[in-house]
């Protein structure tokens, strides 16, 4: 799998949504950095499919699907794409860390390094 830089002015955001059924909890990370043209990539084919469908979702995840669809309306342009799990490892680890810490955790790669921020205290 070869990573390719998104074409300007697009920004790529990898996301991971963790569903913890036994705890009846969900952790979905969303970061607003002021970008207007965003390519969102995730490793859940089911979620990507639901994000790309215009119809109203009536599954147990409908509130998450609705929230994501509402949030992306803030972007000038956006697209959802599915990627293999191996290409989404960092996003998965950050989502898991955020769930365990019970706070937002994000990673941002620029110039060859990765910065980790665990927003807020707690």
Give me the domains of the chain, ranges plus CATH numbers.
6-15+35-103 (3.30.420.10)
Model pLDDT for residues 47-92, shown as the tens digit of each residue: 899 999 999 999 888 888 888 888 888 889 999 999 888 887 777 7
Q: pTM for the full model?
A: 0.68
What's the token pair of residue 70?
């509402």
Torsion region of 49: left, alpha or beta (phi above 0 gives left; psi -120 to 50 gives alpha): alpha
For 119, other C-beta atoms within 10 Å of its C-beta total: 13
pLDDT level of residue 26 (50, 70, 90 thresholds) = low
What are the DSSP E strand ranges found in the chain? Answer: 11-15, 17-20, 25-28, 37-42, 77-82, 105-110, 113-118
């Amino acid at each position: 799998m070869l990573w390719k830089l998104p074409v300007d002015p697009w920004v790529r955001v990898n996301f991971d949504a963790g569903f913890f059924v036994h705890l009846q909890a969900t952790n979905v990370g969303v970061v607003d950095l002021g970008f207007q043209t965003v390519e969102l990539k995730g490793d859940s084919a089911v979620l990507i499919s639901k994000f790309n469908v215009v119809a109203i979702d009536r599954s147990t995840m409908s509130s998450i699907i609705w929230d994501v669809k509402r949030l992306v309306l803030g972007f000038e342009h956006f697209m959802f794409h599915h990627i293999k799990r191996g290409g989404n490892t960092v996003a998965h680890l950050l989502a898991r860390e955020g769930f365990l810490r019970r706070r937002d955790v994000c990673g941002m790669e620029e110039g060859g390094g990765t910065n980790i921020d665990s927003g807020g205290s707690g």
